A and B are shown apart, each in its own frame.
Chain A
Amino acid sequence: MEPVRTIDGIAAPLPDRNIDTDQIIPASYLSTVTRTGLGAGLFHARRYDEHGNTKADFVLNKTPWNGASIIVAGDNFGCGSSREHAPWALKDFGIRCIIAPSFGDIFRNNCTKNGILTAAVETRLADHLMAVARNPSSCRFQVDLNNQTIRAKGKTYDFSVDEADKNWLLSGLDEISLSLRDSDRIDAYEQSWRAAAPWRFA
C-alpha cells in the first residue's frame, strides 16, 4: 500500500447520518471475485434512477464534486455490513479521505487497510465543513495526516484519528508481512494453549 500523508482535493458534502455500507455499495455489486471496478456502483441508488440514468441532483454527479477525493458526512458513516467492497468502491471512485463525526468500526478498519483516511471531527465542525464544501469556490480542501489538520477556505481545523490507523496509513506497510515476522511467537502461543485448553484446538 502507498503511504498516505496529504490529500488535496475536492470535498463533497453528504449531509446525512448513518450512511450505511448498503447505501455505499448495494448487494447487487457484491457478486464479484475481484476488488476492482466497484466505483461504478458507488452510492448506486442515489446516483442513478431506476433506468440507470444519472440523477443530476446528486452531489457526486455534479461538477466539480464528480471529481471528489474527500467526502464530508454526518455521524456513524459506514455503519452496517462488513463488506470491504464499500472502501473498494470509494477508492475506485477516487475517494481518499472521509470526514465525519464518527464511523462504523469495521468500515473504519477496512478503510485503513485500503489507504483511505477516516478523519473524525465534532458534529458542528462537520456541519460547517459541509457548508463550505457545498460552495464550488471553496470546496477544495487540504488534509494533512501527520499534523491532523484540515485546511478549508483559508482556515485550518484539527481532526482526530485512531493512533494505530494513523501509523498504518503513514507507513504504508503490509500488515500480514509484519505479523508473519511474529510467527515464532504464534507457534509458541499455540503450543502452550494446545496443552492448557485442548478444546480450543479440537
Chain B
Amino acid sequence: MPEPKTMFDRIWDDHLVRSYPDGTDLLYIDRHLLHEVMSPQAFQGLHDTGRHVRRPEATFAVSDHNVPTLPEHRFEIPNAASRLQVETMAANAREHGIDYFGLGDERQGIIHVVAPEQGLILPGMTVVCGDSHTSTHGAFGAIAFGIGTSEIEHVLATQTLRQKKPRQMRISLSGHLPDWVTEKDVALAVIAQISTAGATGHMIEYAGDTVSRMSLSGRMTLCNMAIESGARCGLIAPDRKVFEYLKSRPRLASNPEALEAAMDSWSHLASDPEARFDNAVALDVTELEPMVTWGTSPEHTIPITGRIPHSAGTERALSYTGLSAGQSLDDLPIDTVFIGSCTNGRIEDLRLAAEIVRGRHVSDKVRALVVPGSGLVRAQAEREGLSEIFVRAGFEWREAGCSMCLGMNEDRLSPGERCASTSNRNFEGRQGPGGITHLMSPAMAAAAAIEGRVTDVRRLMGARS
C-alpha cells in the first residue's frame, strides 16, 4: 500500500521542481499576487539585474493597502508617498504585462478578496503574495502563503520559490455554531487555545463537520487568521461548495469543460484518513461564545461573558489598552467601529452586520465605517440595499481597500481612540499610533456600533428565528 499522504503532501509533491541537499525544495508557483506596498523594491531588483518576469500571465496585481477610501480622494491621493507607490505599481504592471486592477476599476479591492472573486485561486495550486494573510486562499484547497520582498523578486524571476516543507498540524472543529457566533469567533478561539506562536513552523489543515458546513467566505475568514497562530498557511479540503463557487467566476465561466475536468482531479486532493500530522488539536464549537480581544496580540482573547485573565507577562498589553486583569469587556465604551478587511470584508460579512444594524442607529458617540473588501462587494451590497441600511444608521460607506486594518491611508485611529474592529491584528499602533483595537466578528462590531460599547450581540438580537 502506498504511504498515506496529507493534502498538503500531495500539493507540495506536485509542485516540486527539485530538492536540494540542504533540505529545501524548489517549488513551482502557480499564482503570484502583488500589491503596491511590498512589490516596488522587487521590481527595482529585477530592473537592476536586467531580469524579466518569467510568467506575467500567472501574476496579478492590485493597489489596496495605501489607497484612500473616501470617494473624493480616489483619483487624487493626497499623500505624495502613497500616490507614488500606487503609480509605481501601475507602471510596473504595465511595463511587465501584468494584469492590474487600479483605482478606476470596479474590480479593485483587497488582494485577498479580489483574487478569489475573480476565480484566480483553484484547488491544488500554489499561491504566494507579499502579504502574510495570503493564508486566506487555503480555503480553496490551495497551498497559499505570504512571502517577503526578496522572495517576490525570486518568484517574479523564476516562477519558483526555495522553501523548506513545514510541519503539519490538523485542527478538527466539530459541532454546530450557536446563533450569532461566527467563523471569526472560531478563528479567535483557536488562537486563544494554541497561542500566537502555537503553529509556528507549521501549516494548518482545518477539518471536521463544522468546517464542512462553513461557506467559502467563512472558510476564508478561518484560513485568513491561520497566520495569527504562527502558521504560514491554512488549508481546507475542496468540496462541492468550492466547485459551485468557482463556476460563476470570471476566469472560469467561459470554459466550463476545463473546470469539469479539473474537478475530477481536485476531488482526490483530500488527506488520506490514515495520514500522519505532526500535531493535532480539537475544538468543539457547540458552546462557543462571541469572542473579543482585550490586549495587543490576537491570543489575548476572551468570550464576551469572560473576564481578562490574571496571567504573567501581560502588564505591557494591559497598560497599552488601559484595562486590568479581572475586568469584563461587556459594556466597555468605544469610539470607533471598523467593519472591513480581508478577514471580514466580503458580502456575507456585510449582510450579517446589516442584519443587526437594520432599523437601528449608530450611537452618537461613535464613528463607524464600513469598507467593502472590493468594488464588486460594494456594488453587490448596494444592489441588495445593504449600503442604504448602513448609511441610514449613520455608518460611513467607503470605497474598497485595506483602510483602517493597518492605517496606511487616511483611515486611522488617534492616540487613545478605542476601536471595535473586524480586522485581524490588535498589535500596538496597528490601526494608527496609540490606537486601541478590540478584534471581534462583524456581528459583534455592528452591535458595538449601535450601543457605543462592546456588547453581547446575543443580548441585542435574541435567538435567531
The chain A residues found within 8 Å of chain B, CB to CB, are 16-18, 20, 22-23, 26-28, 30-35, 44-45, 50, 75-76, 79-84, 87, 102-106, 109-110, 113-114, 162-164, 167, 175-176, 179-180, 182-183, 185-186, 189-190, 193, 197-202
Contacts and interface: CB of A to CB of B under 8 A. Distances in A.
A33 B201 contact: no
B153 A176 contact: yes
A164 B261 contact: no
B322 interface: no
Contacts of A76: 196-197, 200, 230
Contacts of B299: 18
A26 B41 contact: no
Given A18-B297, A113-B148, A197-B124, A79 B197 contact: yes
Q: Nearest 6 A-B pairs (CB), nearest first?
A: A31-B81, A110-B148, A33-B40, A113-B150, A84-B148, A199-B262
A30 B37 CA distance: 7
B429 interface: yes
A189 B54 CA distance: 14
Given A164-B24, A176-B154, A22 B200 contact: no
Given A76-B197, A109-B151, A182-B26, 20 more contacts: A22-B427, A22-B428, A22-B429, A31-B79, A32-B85, A33-B41, A50-B433, A76-B200, A80-B427, A84-B149, A87-B148, A105-B200, A106-B132, A163-B23, A164-B23, A176-B153, A186-B159, A189-B17, A200-B30, A200-B124
A16 B197 CA distance: 14
A16 B154 CA distance: 33
Contact of A26 (B49, B131, B433): B433
25 contacts: A18-B197, A20-B425, A20-B427, A22-B406, A22-B427, A23-B428, A27-B406, A35-B149, A45-B433, A81-B425, A82-B38, A82-B148, A103-B200, A106-B132, A113-B148, A164-B23, A164-B164, A176-B157, A186-B54, A186-B158, A189-B28, A197-B124, A199-B261, A201-B58, A202-B258
Contacts of B44: 33-34
B8 to A, nearest CB: 15
A198 B415 contact: no
Given A22-B427, A82-B147, A179-B162, A31 B408 contact: yes
Q: Which secondary structure dominates chain B's binding surface?
A: loop
A33 to B, nearest CB: 4
A80 B230 CA distance: 8
Contacts of A106: 132, 146-148, 232
A16 B164 CA distance: 28
B18 interface: yes
A31 to B, nearest CB: 4
B326 interface: no
Contacts of B157: 176, 179-180
Given A22-B427, A104-B200, A84 B17 contact: no
A202 B197 contact: no
Interface residues of B, number: 76
B321 to A, nearest CB: 14
Most chain B CB within a 10 A radius of its CB, from A20, A27, A163: A27
A4 B299 CA distance: 35
Q: Which of A20, A81, A162 has the most CB of B within 10 A?
A: A81
A110 B150 contact: yes
B65 to A, nearest CB: 8
Interface in B153-201: 153-154, 157-160, 162, 164, 166, 196-197, 200-201
B434 interface: yes
Interface string B121-141: 010110000111000000000
- Of the candidates A26, A44, A103, the one having the most CB atoms from chain B within 10 angstroms of its own CB is A26
B441 interface: no
A32 B81 contact: yes
Interface in B391-447: 406-408, 415, 425, 427-430, 433-434
A121 to B, nearest CB: 15
A102 B146 CA distance: 18
B74 interface: no
A50 B24 CA distance: 45
B76 interface: no
B215 interface: no
A17 B147 CA distance: 23
A176 B427 contact: no
B255 interface: yes
A185 B81 CA distance: 41
Nearest to A199: B262
Nearest to B21: A167
Contacts of A82: 38, 130-132, 146-148
A200 B262 CA distance: 9
Nearest to B415: A50
A28 B85 CA distance: 13
Given A32-B81, A182-B17, A175 B148 contact: no
A83 B429 contact: no
Contacts of A180: 51, 157-158
Contacts of B166: 105
Contacts of B14: 193, 197
Given A34-B41, A81-B132, A197-B124, A45 B150 contact: no
A114 B150 CA distance: 9
B251 interface: yes
A35 B41 contact: yes
B427 A84 contact: no
Contacts of A109: 147-148, 151
B429 A167 contact: no
B196 A18 contact: yes
Contacts of A183: 158
A167 B150 contact: no
